[in-house]
Structure 1
């Protein structure tokens, strides 16, 4: 009840300011002020002002518990342990995956872990890309790379 009264008072004050601004022939500004002035009444009528109060009280209670309850700190410790375990599992998974790829004999010209290209009947497997020529400064090195990629894929 008190929240609704405060919201109505704020809206009334804002509308009064909007009327004074319109009297000075600043209509665009007066319209903006009126729009902002109607927000508190709208929040009160929709019940969102009371909801905001309940959320504020809940956050305040949680903050008080954060200071005075050791079990809440223990909860944060458990969450931290969970994050550390996830990080360890991720690092261990990366090391295991890398070691398995390094142990295999890789074909020349193929990245470790890359899948083999599909070779249909009558087609030869793609040859490794030729080495780029050294000493060319006319900007054609990029085209040589593109040409090698296209040849690799049989285009």
Structure 2
């Protein structure tokens, strides 16, 4: 199969307090208790049935402010260039982001969540339930991040390197 493009529907928007990338958290652990709202397009509301039984969800969204993807970047937690696929840099070829957030409550087509680390109005592409029995992995390798121990994960903020 040699398709060069795909079509994805935007199913909603992610509302957060982060209006610009500067100084926003780079991971949900750095956005402890920061509130946001998932506003699903009304034609997808039925898809939220039973989502309130989960404590966390995985959001897949478009990194809509990224102008130029790169294959090598200097990630936030290092000073040396790395391959884009060995980082969580937003300058990805397909501009896809994912975050695991905690559900606070669900009302109609809105999911109120905690620990938002994405820019306001990020186009939402998909929602998946987080299931700890399947989604957690232990005894894994950490690659170049292995020597990054005792990090203050709550204090990692973005800067202008990925504009």
- Relative to the length of structure 1, the TM-score reads 0.16
Q: If you compute each CA radius of gyration, which structure gives the higher value, 1 or 2?
A: 1
- Relative to the length of structure 2, the TM-score reads 0.16
Q: Hey, which of these two has a bigger chunk of helix by percent?
A: 1
By relative contact order (CA 8 Å, sep 6+), the higher-ranking structure is 2
